[in-house]
């Protein structure tokens, strides 16, 4: 079966497989053919009447230039492993333990002044006069015996990380690609010139698919296979550093950043942790730089009559779609690879003309987790369906313009169930898109604000994909919200203090004590506490999960414990008995599996209602506070049932029944109501057939759904 | 069967049950008869030829005096529940939520100046001029809207807490007893006079059994049965407070303590948490006061030709047996109630002539946990045996002089298995005591130092009995150590810095981040870290359990992570991958049940050996560091098998096989070797019969042990 519909689909073509390319383009209803990292399009494909996307990773594939200008390569700060002083001298080999194919010391005259040595035991920098650097080693004199010393240093990154990943994971054997820093003036002129020439030489290309811009997410490899990936942070700015960047920063901000601003006791500043003020400054500095340079590229592309789409993955650092400068770049489209619903919303909500999703699985022998996909033992059709089940609920809520795939098309041979599954998804996608085209779906009058350190900058995502961040409660909540018929925004603590709660019905804070999602020391601000206290007292709703509003040194562990009627003991409640409780019957179905058995959760008063508990630990509570109320969840693990529990909780707290949008009787069925077409989109999230009733402003309808069915039904 | 042996046994007699008293005295081989809280001895008992202990709780049973001098009653600081300011005024009813039969506001002219009002949101005291007190209420003006306010205040304690407990738990209906503060000059003169007269009137009493001294452990009741016990801390000094004590402190120390020194944001300063310097000063101040007053009582008792034993429980605060002033009091004996081995060692090691254990169960209808004992559904013989199994292993290691029971003797009627069990225990106790009398048992050359905030002051115990503190790893370790053939001492961080490690082979630190047992901020001291680093590097052994050496703001979460080769992620390792590992086969049997699945435990390097892991989390590791090594345990739950694992670990780390003392092949068999008698004491800790070999300096012997047997065997 081929698709019933056509268009809005980007197919990865592959030279040498021209017939397959054109066959699948037809089967999937493609209107665009693209190349991928590692594949080329042949003239036969390019001239077949499809629009053409051409993938460019602008900073890569310039090894000749990089070899001639090694100082144009990208850099970063690293920190050596600590060395314990058994005497008064310590010798540090800075790069010991790091992957020597990725890093090379930068001990040049502009880099060495940024190097530092630290006494980590005393948490003090060692004065410059007490250490020397010779033959690749640092010798520290006058050490405090038994203290531990580290060196912070700059190094060149001599292997572009995505290429490195493909070599080490997918056994590529081609030349190691290097990456250029657009901050290097010669390199920048070279890159612009190169892009101009590329555009001239590729008249058939309609859209240049930038993948992505300049700086990769941070991915630090170790030499030891027991810790090959030492550090990976999709939101980190550490790979943007260079002496030139540091000097420019100092000129602009009037103060100098040091190695320690990045190294941070060896921990680096991960996106999951609240940033220092210096880091905030540096991020803004880089964002402006990235936007400025990207704008130049887009202008070049436009000058050749082509469009510029940007792929939001890999080298995307500094161009966050919800960042202050993203819209100013002038991209024509944003392409987001999606495993999950939250990524769909992240793309759909960005301020850019075209929103396109690249579905998973990528057409590669193995998936990101290293498991087989398009090879023996793989089930790519199951993977695709699994991701689709996450994405389709988000697609109901907010329109995207296009979908597509990427990778080696020939790998689909021998997987006919996969090609069939994709054909069905493409049809469903186009049906849903058509509904949106006539008007937005009904939404509940519930304005949710997710509150964390980063606010809008990190709307929907934390730092990478779901499976990379699934130890964080918030990504599960974001995933649940991505398919709910409520308004969702992401706000920062500053936003709250600047009045953001006036447009908010339900405030959500979810994270672990001290992390960026809970907020850490931000909660030491009494004016923040007072503003949220006012908000709830006057009728607002508060939802907390995990260790919301946790900060040390308060009279409660959660700074909003008085609103939650719950606290999470960090040990400081020693000898204080908690309030005993009997759980009550919850007014809606509780998805127990979504909640955690979190030690230390305790009621702070007699009026907190416990809707679910395990082993004597409250898991889901409600607490009236003034005219408002608060819910506490000990944890939240995404599943369709968990998402429904969250919806039921929001409805219960705001006194609604859900029919203002569309709601099914069965908790594993979700629905959206498109009033312009008098049409319901109904999703069976269960692997079983379900009969249920869906209620919406258009009335109630009884439906019998096949397992996992997507039903589009006029009323 | 009656006992084979006689003496060293204190029997609780009971008027009205004279025949039973004398029968059981014979059956259990008693040489002393005592009264108990709630029982009397009749002349028939007193004149039966036994030595007589008479129980006196010196501060209680003086209601007439207390009514005439209500200002001689004891006091404490309490903190109101917080009140949120919805406007600019807040009204606080201080005692709301507290048990009104226990507390009464002290708003007298010497007390009110100590009252405080705090803005807990801003963590600032409200200036005195901004609040007024009227009709039992505090009115706070000029509040910050949406901040939370508390009042700290003094109150009288109008019901002696042990009496209150017996009323509320055991349904006593007699008059509520009050308690006098010996700091009140009139009360003190009255009490001394009363004691003198008591001694004169009770010539038959040989030993006055003080139970205990002046200040009860802190036990704060709430009005709501859902939180009847709001706070209980066996080590707290909060019940010693009064305006007189505060004034005397200020005179001596030159600075004034405030309510907040005690209230501590409403958390009080529990013994499980590191104390402030002010609290340390105050404790020393009270310890000297208690010792001075106790000395006066002992002198009165001695002047009547009687002996003074002190019962270490209930009102013992300030007379810690390992405190600086305990020996100066001049007690003739220390009586410790015991559920556990660590309590046996606590008693045995105190600097006092006679060490006596009061066994459990107490002859009461219900036990401390509220479960039936001497009533329908109770199995007192099983309880007694269970406690004995804990105590006997400690008795093998260090001698105590006497044992006994307490309570209502008549309750034993109908429990013949109990009386039989006690008879057997008494025999075994006397056999073991006889071995000690000839010379100490062999000990391994392993000097263990347990390191925590309190050091020697809180040797063996944390804050109360095992079942009250069993959420703390350290009490499990102390319990294990109490029966091992190693030297054990308890040292503080100051001790380490003052050279205590020179007498140490194995240093143990076990607790939770921030608690007094792990140490909290003490670990921010680089000189402490350096000294322990030196110690291990030069050949010492380090054992950590839970979150040893944890302190915030370091480059590692455990400050000794470099020695352990393990760290416990508090979230700050976000994005940093741990080292992968394969557990190796442990060189000794691992008691997996004793270890915890502790999230966040991670290796810090490739050389850490994992002996046990679960769900990918290291549970038991070893790491060589210089000439020494360190072991990390994710948890430790006491059992005989866990104790053996700890011994095996100590032996492995110190390169010994255990035969220098005595060691059994079977892990559930423990043994002690008494060289003077060429005798082995062998314990079967298992409910099954065991055949095994015991090796000691006297040779190896094969034994067949009955379930739970205590075997005394000459070689």
Mean pLDDT of chain B, nearest integer: 96
Q: How close is the nearest chain B Cα to the Cα of A121, in Å?
A: 6
What is the tens place of the pLDDT at every residue in A78-115?
999 999 999 999 999 999 999 999 999 999 999 999 99
Helices A380-397 + A416-438 axis angle, to 10 = 0
- Among the residues of B540-615, which ranges form H helices? 561-564
What is the tens place of the pLDDT at every residue in B564-590?
999 999 999 999 999 999 999 999 999
A575/B226 CB distance under 8 A: no
Residues 667 through 706 of chain B touching chain A, CB cutoff 8 Å: none
**pLDDT > 70? residue A2:** no
What is the tens place of the pLDDT at every residue in A350-408?
999 999 999 999 999 988 777 899 999 999 999 999 999 999 999 999 999 999 999 99
Question: Is any Cβ of chain B less than 8 angstroms from the Cβ of A584?
Answer: no
Question: Is any Cβ of chain B less than 8 angstroms from the Cβ of A134?
Answer: no
Question: Is any Cβ of chain A less than 8 angstroms from the Cβ of B87?
Answer: no
pLDDT of residue B169: 82
**Where in the sequence numbering do the catalytic residues of B fall?**
314
What is the tens place of the pLDDT at every residue in B317-333?
999 999 999 999 999 99
Residues of B in contact with A552 (CB under 8 A): 552
Residues of B in contact with A126 (CB under 8 A): none
CA distance A70 to A106: 11
Q: Are B393 and B684 in contact, with CB atoms under 8 Å apart?
A: no
What is the tens place of the pLDDT at every residue in B45-97?
999 999 999 999 999 999 999 999 999 999 999 999 999 999 999 999 999 99
Confidence of residue B38 (pLDDT cuts 50, 70, 90): confident
Question: Is any Cβ of chain B less than 8 angstroms from the Cβ of A147?
Answer: yes
Residues of B in contact with A230 (CB under 8 A): 576-577
Cβ neighbours of residue A421 closer than 8 Å, sequence gap 6 or more: A381, A384, A385, A388
CA distance B284 to B272: 18
Helix, strand, coil proportions of chain B in percent (round to 5)?
A: 35, 25, 40
Question: Is any Cβ of chain B less than 8 angstroms from the Cβ of A627?
Answer: no
Kindly list the structural domains of chain B, giving each domain's residue range(s) and its CATH number in brackets, ordered by start. Answer: 9-63+163-217+271-438 (3.20.20.80), 74-157+237-266 (2.60.40.10), 447-654 (3.40.50.880), 663-714 (2.60.40.1180)
A537/B84 CB distance under 8 A: yes
What is the tens place of the pLDDT at every residue in A534-562?
999 999 999 999 999 999 999 999 999 99
What is the tens place of the pLDDT at every residue in B285-295?
999 999 999 99
User: Which position has the token pair 């790069």?
Assistant: A95
Question: Is any Cβ of chain A less than 8 angstroms from the Cβ of B553?
Answer: yes
Q: Are A377 and A349 in contact, with CB atoms under 8 Å apart?
A: no
**pLDDT > 90? residue B2:** no
Helices B640-654 + B473-481 axis angle, to 10 = 80
Our answer to whether residue A314 is catalytic in this structure is: yes
| Overall average pLDDT of the A104-133 stretch | 98
**pLDDT > 60? residue A612:** yes
Q: How close is the nearest chain B Cα to the Cα of A699, in Å?
A: 43
**pLDDT > 90? residue A76:** yes
A571/B145 CB distance under 8 A: no
| Overall average pLDDT of the A436-452 stretch | 97
Indicate which residue of A181, A314, A427, A515 is catalytic. Answer: A314
CA distance B502 to B498: 10
What is the tens place of the pLDDT at every residue in A214-273?
999 999 999 999 999 999 999 999 999 999 999 999 999 999 999 999 999 999 999 999
A 10 A CB-CB count for A688 gives 10
Q: Are strands B116-119 and B148-157 parallel, antiparallel or unpaired?
A: antiparallel
Cβ neighbours of residue B37 closer than 8 Å, sequence gap 6 or more: B55, B57, B162, B166, B211
pLDDT of residue A3: 67
User: Which position has the token pair 């169930």?
Assistant: A417
B224/A529 CB distance under 8 A: no
Q: Which residues pair with A150 in a beta bridge?
A: A118
Confidence of residue B166 (pLDDT cuts 50, 70, 90): confident
Q: What token pair was written down for B472?
A: 């703390």
Kind and range of the H or E run holding A417: helix A416-438
Confidence of residue B4 (pLDDT cuts 50, 70, 90): confident
Residues 490 through 549 of chain B touching chain A, CB cutoff 8 Å: 512-515, 526, 529-531, 533-534, 537
CA distance A408 to A41: 11
Mean pLDDT of chain A, nearest integer: 96
Confidence of residue A190 (pLDDT cuts 50, 70, 90): very high
| Overall average pLDDT of the B542-564 stretch | 98
Torsion of CA B645, B651, B654, B655, to 10 degrees: -130
B121/A529 CB distance under 8 A: yes
Peptide bond into A361 cis (omega under 30): yes
| Overall average pLDDT of the A153-181 stretch | 93
What is the tens place of the pLDDT at every residue in B487-516?
999 999 999 999 999 999 999 999 999 999
pLDDT of residue B367: 82
Q: Quote the strand ranges of B492-608, DSSP E.
A: 506-511, 541-546, 566-568, 601-603
What is the tens place of the pLDDT at every residue in A482-513?
999 999 999 999 999 999 999 999 999 999 99
pLDDT of residue A371: 85
Cβ neighbours of residue A248 closer than 8 Å, sequence gap 6 or more: A183, A285
The burial of A626, by beta-carbon neighbours within 10 Å (0-12 exposed, 13-18 middle, 19 or more buried), is given as: middle
pLDDT of residue A275: 98
B265/A86 CB distance under 8 A: no
């Amino acid at each position: 079966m081929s698709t019933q519909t056509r268009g809005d689909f980007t197919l990865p073509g592959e030279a040498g497989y021209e017939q397959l390319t054109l066959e699948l383009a037809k089967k999937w209803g493609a209107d665009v053919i693209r190349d991928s990292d590692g594949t080329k399009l042949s003239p036969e494909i390019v001239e077949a009447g499809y629009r053409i996307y051409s993938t460019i990773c602008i900073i890569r594939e310039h090894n000749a230039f990089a070899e001639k200008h090694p100082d144009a390569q990208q850099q970063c700060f690293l920190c050596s492993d600590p060395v314990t002083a058994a005497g008064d001298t310590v010798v540090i080999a800075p790069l010991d333990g790091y992957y020597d194919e990725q890093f090379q010391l930068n001990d040049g005259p502009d880099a060495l002044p940024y190097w530092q040595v630290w006494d980590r035991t005393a948490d003090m920098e060692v004065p410059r006069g007490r250490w020397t650097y010779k033959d690749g080693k640092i010798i520290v004199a006058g050490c405090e015996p038994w203290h531990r010393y580290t060196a912070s240093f700059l190094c060149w990154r001599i292997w572009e990380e995505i290429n490195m990943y493909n070599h080490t994971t997918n056994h590529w054997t081609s030349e190691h690609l290097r990456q250029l820093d657009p901050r290097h003036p010669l390199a920048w002129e070279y890159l612009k010139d190169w892009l101009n020439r590329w555009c001239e030489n590729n008249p058939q290309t309609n859209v240049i698919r930038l993948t992505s811009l300049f700086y990769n997410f941070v991915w630090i490899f170790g030499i030891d296979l027991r810790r090959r990936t030492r550090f990976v942070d999709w939101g980190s700015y550490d790979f943007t550093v260079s002496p030139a960047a540091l000097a420019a920063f100092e000129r602009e901000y009037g103060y100098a950043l040091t190695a320690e601003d990045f190294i941070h006791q060896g921990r680096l500043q991960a996106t999951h942790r609240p940033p220092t003020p210096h880091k905030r400054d540096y991020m803004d500095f880089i964002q402006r730089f990235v936007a400025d340079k990207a704008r130049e590229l887009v202008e070049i592309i436009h000058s050749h009559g082509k469009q510029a789409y940007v792929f939001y993955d890999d080298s995307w650092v500094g161009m966050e779609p919800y960042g202050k400068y993203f819209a100013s770049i002038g991209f024509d489209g944003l392409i987001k690879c999606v495993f999950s619903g939250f990524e769909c919303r992240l793309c759909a909500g960005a301020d850019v003309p075209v929103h396109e999703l690249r579905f998973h699985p990528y057409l590669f022998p193995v998936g990101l987790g290293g498991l087989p996909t398009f090879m023996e033992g793989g089930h790519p059709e199951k993977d695709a369906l699994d991701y689709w089940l996450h994405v389709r609920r988000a697609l109901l809520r907010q329109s995207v313009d296009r979908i597509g795939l990427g990778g080696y098309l020939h790998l689909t041979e021998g997987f006919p169930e996969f090609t069939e599954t994709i054909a069905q998804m493409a049809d469903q996608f186009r049906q849903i898109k058509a509904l949106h085209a006539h008007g937005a779906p009904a939404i509940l009058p519930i304005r949710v604000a997710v509150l964390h350190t980063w606010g809008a900058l990190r709307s929907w995502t934390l730092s990478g994909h779901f499976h990379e961040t699934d130890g964080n409660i918030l990504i599960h909540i974001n995933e649940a919200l991505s398919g709910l018929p409520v308004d969702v925004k992401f706000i920062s603590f500053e936003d709250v203090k600047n009045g953001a709660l006036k447009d908010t019905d339900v405030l959500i804070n979810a994270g672990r004590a001290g992390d960026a999602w809970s907020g850490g020391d931000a909660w030491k601000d009494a004016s923040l506490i007072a503003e949220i206290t006012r908000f709830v007292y006057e009728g607002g709703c508060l939802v907390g999960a995990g260790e919301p509003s946790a900060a040390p040194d308060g009279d409660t562990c959660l700074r909003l414990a008085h609103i939650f009627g719950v606290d999470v003991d960090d040990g400081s409640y020693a000898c204080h008995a908690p309030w005993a409780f009997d759980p009550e019957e919850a007014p809606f179905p509780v998805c127990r599996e979504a909640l955690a058995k979190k030690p230390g959760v305790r009621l702070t008063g007699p009026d907190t209602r416990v809707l679910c508990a395990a082993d004597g630990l409250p898991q889901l509570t409600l607490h009236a506070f003034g005219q408002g109320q608060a819910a506490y969840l000990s944890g939240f693990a995404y599943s369709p049932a968990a998402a429904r529990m969250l919806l039921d909780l929001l409805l219960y707290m705001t006194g609604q029944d859900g029919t203002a949008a569309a709601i099914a009787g069965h908790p594993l069925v979700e629905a959206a109501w498109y009033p312009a077409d008098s049409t319901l989109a109904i999703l069976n999230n269960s692997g079983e057939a379900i009969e249920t009733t869906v209620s919406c402003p258009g009335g109630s309808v009884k439906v019998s759904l096949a397992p996992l069915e997507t039903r589009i039904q006029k009323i």
